[in-house]
Amino acid sequence: MRIKSYFSATVEAAVSKARQELGDDALLLNARPSPEEALHLGAYEVVFGIETPVVPPPAPPAARAERPAPPPPLPALPDPATDEADSLGGFLARQDISASLIQAIESSLDEDTVTEQQLARALSRRLNVNSSLDSPVAFVGPAGSGKTTLLMKVAIRESADQAVAVVCADSQRIAAAEQLRTLCSIAGLTFDYAGQPESLAAVVEAHQAAGRLVLIDMPGFGPSELGPARVWQAALAKISSLTPVLTLTATARTADLRLMVGHYRMFKPQRLAFTHLDETGVWGGVYSTAGETGWPVAWLTTGQSIPEDVEDASVRRIVDGLMGLAGKTRAAAAAAG
Ligand SMILES: Nc1nc2c(ncn2[C@@H]2O[C@H](COP(=O)(O)OP(=O)(O)OP(=O)(O)O)[C@@H](O)[C@H]2O)c(=O)[nH]1
Ligand SMILES: [Mg+2]
């Protein structure tokens, strides 16, 4: 599969330009506002994949020709303005996939002959998912990353199958506990507060003993709050079979997510969750963080609505995101007016 970008003032104009050149068989992989460095080419970028070379139909056999002439080689599509987007590496880089993963993916594929399915398989190989819920879960991560919202979505969904207790360990933010207590009372969930690190393990164990799945809401710690972060990490370490879920915003850049992973590694995350996927079409941060850490992705969230906007992560969904199927849907909607 070859990949080529077209830029224009509107998605429709860029798509029509691409269709004129590539025909109807070319696959629309992504449509989005142009990156800053390509804005001079047009406000929107559409990315097309061309699965099979467009070869001119063979000339009718000459009366005396004994063997058909070999098909001409695939003509190159030189376009200095879109040079970067024409390569597989350029496409992956635009998705903000980390350089080391791009290198690994490129070296496992033959760029000249690679099909969309082969690329999807190569991308899938580095992903794990796991959204099972059978031991206490603590939602850790940067301030404002969507921990509490995700916890409530998961708690309400899971409460259909088992008893759930929500434990608030957020003593940092004023009214955090009250907000969560109110949400739990509306949803009919058991709520408890463990404002002191020393009390956390006992509170969790009491709910476990009562047969409840315990979901723990942790405060977010900034880079300058390493002291309290260590204290709470030690408190979490006392809970047996705990699953810490590092909750990150999918809108952050891959490099920033890597910093967050470094910062929160002390909590020994066993899973990842990504929020705010409704606000981005770029999945490289999700992919690179999961690929580089090897931690399974548990949940993806796509909006503020509790409990609707959450889904169990699947490899297919993440790979589709990377290949631009979300963009394809948007472009189709835009083209339909
Ligand atoms: N658009 C969108 N907004 C989200 C999503 N998840 C959470 N939010 C919003 O993001 C904001 C922060 O979410 P919280 O759940 O309070 O984040 P938090 O990590 O608990 O924040 P702290 O407790 O302050 O560290 C809220 O306004 C949420 O409604 C999502 O997937 N998409
Ligand atoms: Mg919170």
pLDDT in tens, 204-260: 999 999 999 999 999 998 878 888 899 999 999 999 999 999 999 999 999 999 999
More confident residue, 168 or 171: 168
CB neighbour class for 171 (10 Å; exposed up to 12, middle 13-18, buried from 19): middle
Least confident of 30-34, 130-134, 261-265: 30-34
Q: How far is the CA of 176 from the centre of ligand 2 (A)?
A: 7
Residues pairing with 56 in the sheet: none
Residue with tokens 């098909």: 71
pTM equals: 0.76
Is the pLDDT at 72 greater than 70? The verdict is no
Least confident of 22-26, 27-31, 99-103, 320-324: 27-31
Distance CA 75, CA 24 (A): 18
The conformational region for residue 111 under phi > 0 = left, psi -120 to 50 = alpha, else beta, is alpha
Domains contained in the chain, CATH given: 2-61+78-121 (no CATH), 137-313 (3.40.50.300)
Distance CA 191, CA 220 (A): 20
Where does ligand 1 bind, in terms of residues with CB under 6 Å?
143-149, 170, 173, 176, 219-220, 275-276, 278-279, 301-304, 309
Task: Tell me which residue has its CA closest to atom 1 in ligand 1.
Answer: 303
Average pLDDT over residues 157-181: 90
Q: In this predicted structure, what is the pLDDT of residue 56? A: 46
Residue of 279, 304, 306 to mutate, ligand 1, most atoms within 8 A of C-beta: 304
Check if the beta carbon of residue 104 is closer than 8 Å to that of residue 95: no
